[in-house]
């Protein structure tokens, strides 16, 4: 697929896709005319990369943990950098805190929607929820 299709399928701007390529996070094939050709598996890869970036993980770290996202998993631990492990632990803990916050917010939204639906049912009107 071409970059425009990958852009649509992943909701990722072409500029970001080119950046991911420059960082070594994705590797498209090059056609004889110089155009990039993206394999289908890169759709999931780009979505994973975006999720990690959205979580605040820098691309240099993402590049090192990408093997953990592949199947079969081929994780190389011989040259594990202690500083990297510290950074990953901090990022993991930050994600856990964010997940907990998101879960609380989701539950609050559910509670509000229930209250609105119950109040609407008591008053005989319909709800959009």
Looking at beta carbons, which pairs linking 22-27 to residues 24 or more positions away fall under 8 Å?
23/59, 23/60, 23/62, 23/63, 24/63, 25/49, 25/59, 25/62, 25/63, 25/66
Q: Quick one: pLDDT band at residue 126, thresholds 50, 70, 90?
A: low
Same domain, 44 and 93: no
Please check the confidence at residue 25 and state whether its pLDDT lies above 60: yes
Same domain, 116 and 90: yes
> Rounded to two decimals, what is the model's pTM?
0.60
Same domain, 116 and 63: no
Name the domain boundary from 38, 55, 77: 77
Same domain, 91 and 62: no
Condensed to tens digits (0 to 9), the pLDDT of residues 69-78 reads 765 445 556 6
Same domain, 55 and 96: no
Cα separations in angstroms, 92 against 57, 71, 88, 99: 10, 21, 6, 10
Same domain, 62 and 88: no
Q: What are phi and psi of 78, to 5 degrees?
A: -60, -40
Q: Quick one: pLDDT band at residue 86, thresholds 50, 70, 90?
A: confident
Whole-number average pLDDT of the chain: 85
Condensed to tens digits (0 to 9), the pLDDT of residues 44-82 reads 999 999 988 887 788 888 888 887 776 544 555 666 678
Q: 89 lies in which domain range?
A: 81-129
Same domain, 89 and 70: no
Same domain, 72 and 94: no
């Amino acid at each position: 697929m071409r970059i425009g299709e990958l852009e649509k399928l992943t909701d990722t701007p072409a500029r970001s896709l080119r950046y991911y390529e420059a960082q070594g996070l994705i590797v498209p094939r090059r056609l004889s005319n110089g155009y990039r050709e993206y394999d289908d598996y890169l759709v999931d890869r780009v979505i994973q990369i975006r999720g990690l970036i959205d979580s605040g993980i820098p691309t240099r770290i993402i590049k090192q943990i990408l093997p953990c996202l592949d199947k079969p998993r081929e994780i190389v631990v011989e040259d594990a950098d202690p500083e990297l492990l510290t950074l990953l632990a901090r990022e993991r803990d930050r994600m856990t805190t964010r997940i907990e916050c998101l879960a609380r917010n989701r539950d609050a939204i559910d509670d509000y929607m229930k209250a609105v639906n119950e109040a609407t049912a008591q008053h005989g009107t319909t709800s959009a929820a």
